Structure 1
Amino acid sequence: MVAAIAPLLIAALSLILRLFDIASIKTLIFDEVYYVDGARDLLAYGVEVDQANPEFIVHPPIGKWMIASGIKVFGDNPFGWRVATAVVGALMILLIALIAHKLFYSPLLTALASALMALDGMTLVHSRTAMLDNFLAFFILIATYFFISRLYMWSGLFLGLALATKWSASYFIALFGVIALYRVFSHYTGRDLIIPTLRRAIAFAVIPLSTYLISWWGWFASDRGWGRDHSKNPITSFVYYHNQILNFHTNLTDKHDYQANPWSWLILGRPTSFFYESPKNCGADSCSQEVLALGTPLLWWLATIALAIVIGFWIRSLVLRQRDPAASIIVVGMAAGYLPWFFMQHRTVFSFYSIVFEPFLILALVYCAKLFLQTQGKKGGRAYLYAQMTLGTVVILIAMNFIYFLPLYLGLSIPYSDWVAHMWFKSWI
């Protein structure tokens, strides 16, 4: 019973933590300067502008509309900027619980998934910062749940919302679509292929694309949008604008202090500092206040090992032609959310992009927990009890690690010497 209601309790407590002093930093931090400004424009004009002039914007509008919803309800202030992402961050804990339940059918493992998500610093930082990536991860998680449930039309809708937040959702659309088509061709032949194939095409092409186009309604309805006057035909102007966006993304090579090669993301080689100041309010001669997009180290390092194990079991299932839905969805999620960045070695990228595949890392750890419990369960009741105690100990250690880094996740002012103690590697500075 406790395990069954645990995700609700964990999500509620996590929402409190996400909202705790969320407005303490009064200024816009990191990329909030772009997205909060965009949200303001959307509320005022329905399209993003630079004063009275068109503004070149490189990300679709849905994520900024999500930020705008908080501003609309709570005002144009730090709380209003960040409240929407805080709520979404708490909902993601429930979503991963639903996915874990679908994959593992265990109240204990469902509770474990939600607990691990709640104890990750990367998700906490994103849930307290008005940026797009948390909304992207949120829509991807919903789409994944519906995909696992074989509700493909709904999956396509939320993939469309993800695409209308950031283009990197396109990799999930492609992989989910290919898998859905593979399932069709594995079960049908001849004329029986026609209807299911059309349905999958609607789910993973028509619906996402339509959702994406609708998200730009403000641009179509206004004459202020960037490139809107390129042609009398709005579709021609829209394509022209998107060619410019594509050119921007493919040629983004400006050096940045916190850029990080994807090879280093899993081991937290170069976390992104969203905010840093040296205030005078910590009771010491020298103080530091930082918001660092750093995953909980112990959690991420264990999850990286777990991912390697999952990939091994996934390959084994392919060789033996055995179905392993849990391993498959983990591998697909990692492939769509992580692998594409390796082909952009020339591009400026950041480790905080990993929030999109972080839930699949969590699921990899839960997958290995299931293997461990099953193996020990075969040895008898006492061995199974010890296995549960071992898992509990691991969760406690992860929680302690999370609490240790909490000042950097919440942006608390601490003595400079304490801040230095948290910088375990030079690359974190």
Structure 2
Amino acid sequence: MILPISAYVSYKSYSLAIANYHRGSLYVSDEIYYVDTARRYLQEIFHVQVNESMYSNKTNPDYFNLEHPPLGKYIIALSMLLYGDNPLGWRLPSILEAGMIPLILGLAFWAASRRTMLSILIAIAAAAAAAADPILVYAGSLAMLDIHLAFFLSLSLALLVAGRRRPALIAAGLASSVKMSGVAGILAIMLYDLLYGSLRERAKRLSEDILLPLLVYVIVMIPLIAYFGPVDIVRETINALKWHTTSRPPGPPTSTPIGWILNENPFYYSFNPIIEPAVVATSLHALAVASIIPLVILGSTLDRYRTVTVAPFFYIGTLAVYALVWLLGNRTFYSFYAVELTPAMAGIIASILLAGEKVNQYGQGTGSGG
């Protein structure tokens, strides 16, 4: 059942991508920055010949989008190389990743359950909740960074739910290599690692939580380090941190994370030929937010329920990152960032059912033992 759900998301994203392609506009929203940079990576850093076209050089020749890490642009560049320098070629990874998010979440929660009929329901709930979030389809239709970030956060969450902590850290490192806000995944795993073990074990895990994603980040940065030099990359990283903590000039509509959930003042990717607002399923996110504290209390109190804290920690981690950025001075958040919350929201919906299954399992075990 989760395969049709995933296929549906990719199909809807593909349909929007096609509609934008036939619209005749070269780029939608911020695609201009990421696609032009991806093309420039191929030409300047990897020395791969890309024929000049009507899409080329819409930004300054020395622009490399260094305010964001490079992994998202690598993905766009690889797709451009394989499928052509055209809008569908740029957007294909987004289309595929949007569809894969419900799939990997569903499989992870199925694996974390008892694999009964209720397990199938839990898996479907995870996949369906993700698919029901409108922003997933909209973000999946465009060659922007947020869908790649959401994909790697989904992968990290899914791996941790499945008990694969170190691969989850690697995936969190990859998320951070798309956008700096991907550190939310690292923070989530750190919160999870504080739940159990001796003080020494926790300290050891927390050091690994920092070092392993950092190693991944450095590896991803190697081509840029080789091209610009380590000193320039350190300088640009510091500049990026300053940029991320500074408000933008007046322009597109802005909103807070609470506003994202309530769909207040949403960002619009496009108005023509299809109106594409960056909006979420408010009822599902409201249910997820209301469930965070009970699930965290349950999982932190009783070890057998620990898995149900993973998705809440990913939601908390994402909100905490943006709260910190807000406190540091950036007041211009856009609602399209909310796709980063989609995997955690879907995971929380599945975790509610997973907690119920575990309660039922424990009750049956206690009854048979009496």
TM-score, length basis structure 2: 0.81
C-alpha contact 1:101 1:107 (8 A) present in aligned 2 = yes
User: How far apart are 1:184 and its partner, in Å?
Assistant: 4.0
Partner of residue 165, structure 2: 152
CA displacement 1:247-266 (0-9 Å, x = unmatched): 11111342233111222121
Name the % identity.
Answer: 22
Query: Which residue identity lines up with residue 174 of structure 1 in the other structure?
Result: L
Aligned to 1:365: 349
CA distance in 1, matches of 2:298, 2:162: 24
Superposed, which structure 2 residues align to 1:98-247 within 5 Å? 98-105=107-114, 106-180=119-193, 183-185=196-198, 193=201, 198=204, 201-202=207-208, 204-222=209-227, 228=228, 234-247=229-242
Q: How does 1:212-291 map to 2 (within 5 A)?
A: 212-222=217-227, 228=228, 234-277=229-272, 289-291=274-276
Residue by residue, what CA displacement relative to the aligned partner does 1:330-369 show, whole Å, maximum 9, x if unpaired?
Answer: 2201111123323406421112211112122123333445
Q: Check conservation: 1:303, 1:365, Cα contact below 8 A.
A: no
Q: Unaligned regions of 5+ residues in structure 1, if any?
A: 1-5, 223-227, 229-233, 278-287, 377-429
Q: Secondary structure at the match of 1:125?
A: helix
Query: 2: distance between equivalents of 1:130 and 1:370?
Result: 34
AA in 2 matched with 1:98: L
- Residues 155 and 302 of structure 1: CA distance in aligned 2, closer, same or farther (over 3 Å): closer
Residue 66 (1) aligns with residue 79 (2): no
| Cα distance in 2 for residues equivalent to 1:179 and 1:367 | 15
Matched residue, 2:365: none
Deviation per CA, 1:254-297, whole angstroms, max 9, x where unpaired? 223311122212122222101123xxxxxxxxxx632222224x
1:107-153 C-alpha deviation (Å, 9 max, x unpaired): 12212221222232110001101111111111111112222333332
Question: 1 or 2, which has the higher helix percentage?
Answer: 2
Deviations 1:185-225, CA, capped at 9 Å, x for gaps: 26xx6xxx5xx8556634x2332112211212222222xxx
Contact 1:310–1:368, Cα closer than 8 Å, also in 2:
no
In structure 2, what residue type is equivalent to 1:16? Answer: Y
Q: Measure the CA separation in 1 of the matches of 2:15 and 2:244.
A: 35
Secondary structure of 2:20 counterpart:
coil
**1:301–1:76 Cα change, 3 Å:** same
Does 1:356 pair with 2:361? no
CA-based RMSD: 3.0
Tell me, yes or no, if the aligned pair for 1:139 and 1:161 is still in contact at 8 Å: yes
Q: Matched residue of 1:139: which SS?
A: helix
Aligned 8 A contact 1:41 1:47 in 2: no
Task: Pick 1 or 2: higher relative contact order, CA cutoff 8 A, min separation 6.
Answer: 2
1:335 matched to 2:316? The reply is yes
| Residue identity in the other structure for 1:311 | I
How many residues end up aligned between the 2 structures?
A: 340
Which has the larger displacement, 86-95 or 359-368?
359-368
Query: How far apart are 1:322 and its partner, in Å?
Result: 5.7
* TM-score (norm. length: structure 1): 0.71
Name 1:314's counterpart in structure 2. Answer: 296
Greater Cα offset, 243-252 or 126-135: 243-252
Deviation at 1:373, TM superposition (A): 8.7
State how far apart, in whole Å, the 1-side matches of 2:36 and 2:128 are: 34
* Preserved CA contact (<8 Å) 2:37 2:64: no
Structure 1: which amino acid aligns with 2:319?
Y
When Rg is computed on C-alpha atoms for both structures, the one with the higher figure is 1
| 1:76 and 2:89 matched | no
CA distance in 2, matches of 1:349, 1:260: 6
Partners in 2 of 1:197 and 1:374 — Cα distance? 29
Contact 2:16/2:141, CA 8 A, preserved across alignment: no
**Alignment partner of 1:216: what SS?**
helix
Q: Partner of 2:286 in structure 1?
A: 304
User: Does the CA contact (< 8 Å) of 2:34 and 2:65 recur in 1?
Assistant: no
CA contact (8 A) 1:258 1:350 kept: yes
Retained in 2: the 8 A contact 1:11–1:90?
yes
1:421 corresponds in structure 2 to none
Partner of 1:390: none
Partner Cα distance (2:278, 2:197) in 1: 41
Q: CA shift at 1:159, angstroms?
A: 1.4
Rounded Cα–Cα distance in structure 2 between residues aligned with 1:37 and 1:219: 16
Q: 1:54 to 1:185 in 2, by over 3 A?
A: same
CA distance in 2, matches of 1:199, 1:341: 25
**Does the CA contact (< 8 Å) of 1:133 and 1:356 recur in 2?**
yes
